[in-house]
Amino acid sequence: MKKIITISREYGAGGHSIGKKVAEILGVPFYDRDIVRETVKASGFDPELIENESEEISRSDSLWKNLASFSGAYYKDTQSAIRDVQAAVILRFAQEGPCVILGRCADEVLREADIDSVNVFIHADDVHRAMRLSALTGSTDATELKKMMEKKDAARHNYYQRYTGKKWGDSHNYHLTLDSGALGDEACVRLIVAAAQDAE
Amino acid sequence: MKKIITISREYGAGGHSIGKKVAEILGVPFYDRDIVRETVKASGFDPELIENESEEISRSDSLWKNLASFSGAYYKDTQSAIRDVQAAVILRFAQEGPCVILGRCADEVLREADIDSVNVFIHADDVHRAMRLSALTGSTDATELKKMMEKKDAARHNYYQRYTGKKWGDSHNYHLTLDSGALGDEACVRLIVAAAQDAE
């Protein structure tokens, strides 16, 4: 049974709660922002810098280029260094045993290290995502909800593209992709658990 | 239970046999090239023209443009007409009850008609596909196998793009995408059946 599962997800598609439930059912650890905190502990980098690096700093190419041009080689090297430490943390988690890892290009980190995993991408249409985010944030402002989704999706898209050279959300990069809006969260949980149990 | 299932698939990824098994398990009809034959019967178009239209004629944009320029408006109108007849046949199948429909942009036809379906895309890495095609065709010529895959994939890609305006294989266009190479055919069958039974 391949019980290392990586989950990439669109903002508001429920990837966090789906991943958490999968981990509970399989009885394995669930890693999300913990990875960042682990990275901080392991690396000695400035915690604030690492928090920023994660997704926000790579939000847009123009922002990235501006930062790079202002700060010269410093940011570039720091980014690479942070990425290496983050990958090391992900690999340590994977080597400790079965688990569910959310985001952070964990799929690519494990693929490069030739460690078997079931790589999942969860997406949903804008209406399902907006309703979920509205319930989470309390906002009922459609324009604000749309902006939240666009901003976070662009950040994740760029982060994945920068670190893997591949297209975030392209089915070829995952073993399983799921539309949580059409299928529902519970079905997604069941399908991921089934895929993990099916995989040799 | 949403038992209308559409399957798009890369050449050599096993979509045909996986779809057939899913239909057997659910006890519903399985439609593949039959759709084309039905189209022929229903439309009175030249059978050879319709066979060609399906995927091969839209293999490359340049081929398409050449044909269009040689034959003027004739091909363009014929293509649109064939597409409409094909869509009508797919809709009739769907209205007759639960079924599995392979290819032919059935996902888009049903989406446009607002008919619920579980839309699946099946892909696999080149090595798994080559081995499957080698077993099917008897060819052990790697170059030939690669060419087969590229040609058929390009045809399907262009066909889907032309008729839907969307990107073939982009996870957002499907409720479920599966890597049959990594997961195995039997797991794919089980996951599609589970998704169909889960869907309301």
Contact B176 A191 (CB under 8 A): yes
Token pair, residue B119, equals: 């839309």
Q: How confident is the model at residue B162 (pLDDT cuts 50, 70, 90)?
A: confident
In sequence order, the 6+-apart residues with CB closer than 8 A to the CB of A52 are: none
**ipTM here:** 0.79
At residue A78, the pLDDT reads 66
At residue A68, the pLDDT reads 41
Which of B6-10, B15-19, B42-46, B58-62 is least confident?
A: B58-62
Q: What letter does residue A95 receive in the DSSP assignment?
A: H
Report, as ranges of residue numbers, the positions in chain A whose pLDDT lies below 50.
56-75
At residue A31, the pLDDT reads 93
CB-CB contact of B30 with B20 (8 Å): yes
A187: chain B residues, CB-CB within 8 Å: 194-195, 198-199
φ/ψ bin of B74: left (φ > 0), alpha (ψ from -120 to 50), beta (otherwise): alpha
User: Per-residue pLDDT tens for B66-117?
Assistant: 444 444 444 456 667 777 778 888 898 899 999 999 988 899 999 999 999 9
Whether the CB of A187 is below 8 Å from some CB of chain B: the reply is: yes
φ/ψ bin of B27: left (φ > 0), alpha (ψ from -120 to 50), beta (otherwise): left
CB-CB contact of B178 with A192 (8 Å): no
Cα(A45)–Cα(A61) distance, integer angstroms: 24
Cα(B7)–Cα(B15) distance, integer angstroms: 7
Nearest to B172 among A118, A169, A172 (CB): A169
Residue A102 — φ and ψ, nearest 5°? -100, 130
pTM for the model stands at 0.82
Which of A33-47, A107-121, B45-59, B140-154 is least confident?
A: B45-59
Residue A165 — φ and ψ, nearest 5°? 75, 10
Helix, strand and coil content of chain B, in percent to the nearest 5, comes to 65, 10, 25
Which of A75-84, B44-53, B75-84, B119-128 is least confident?
A: B44-53
Contact A190 B194 (CB under 8 A): yes
A residues 102-131 lying closer than 8 A (beta carbon) to B:
118, 121, 123
User: Per-residue pLDDT tens for A172-183?
Assistant: 999 999 999 999
Residue to substitute from A110, A117, A171, A189, interface B, most B β-carbons within 10 A = A171
Nearest to B198 among A175, A176, A190 (CB): A190
